[in-house]
Amino acid sequence: GAVVSQHPSWVICKSGTSVKIECRSLDFQATTMFWYRQFPKQSLMLMATSNEGSKATYEQGVEKDKFLINHASLTLSTLTVTSAHPEDSSFYICSARDRAISYEQYFGPGTRLTVT
């Protein structure tokens, strides 16, 4: 089946630094990838939609200059949290749409970010 990986699975960084999270579709091509954030005991909240070769579309309230998204290829999207603060600590999850099966969407295992 379709597999989406994320790297790293967990990361601890100091306040003020930046951290990059990678999302890869391993066995399919994804024209569209999505980034979500999930706080403890809450649901997933869509942050942005990432389309290969174009700028990401951010949801209302999500700072595009703080959460930089790059979707340089059909199998890789990256989310960079810039100048991280403790309130950015969360579980970040990506998902990818299989371009061959437009309604199928596969989720990565998530990345736990802790900002100290």
Partner 1 sequence: LAKTTQPISMDSYEGQEVNITCSHNNIATNDYITWYQQFPSQGPRFIIQGYKTKVTNEVASLFIPADRKSSTLSLPRVSLSDTAVYYCLVGGNDYKLSFGAGTTVTVRA
Q: Which residues bind partner 1 (CB under 8 A)?
A: 4, 6, 32, 34, 36, 43-46, 49, 91, 93, 95, 97, 102-110, 112
Least Å distance, CB 71 to partner 1, is 15
Select 51 or 82, whichever has its Cβ closest to partner 1: 51
Select 17 or 59, whichever has its Cβ closest to partner 1: 59
Select 4 or 81, whichever has its Cβ closest to partner 1: 4
- Determine the Cα–Cα distance for residues 50 and 7; give it in Å rounded to an integer: 17
Least Å distance, CB 16 to partner 1, is 26
Using the CB atoms, write b or e for 59-74: b if 16+ within 10 Å.
Answer: eeebeeeebbbebeeb
Select 5 or 82, whichever has its Cβ closest to partner 1: 5
Least Å distance, CB 105 to partner 1, is 6
Helix (H, G, I), strand (E, B) or coil at 107: strand
- Determine the Cα–Cα distance for residues 13 and 66; give it in Å rounded to an integer: 15
Using the CB atoms, write b or e for 12-38: b if 16+ within 10 Å.
Answer: ebeeeeebebbbbbeebebbbbbbbbe
Least Å distance, CB 3 to partner 1, is 11
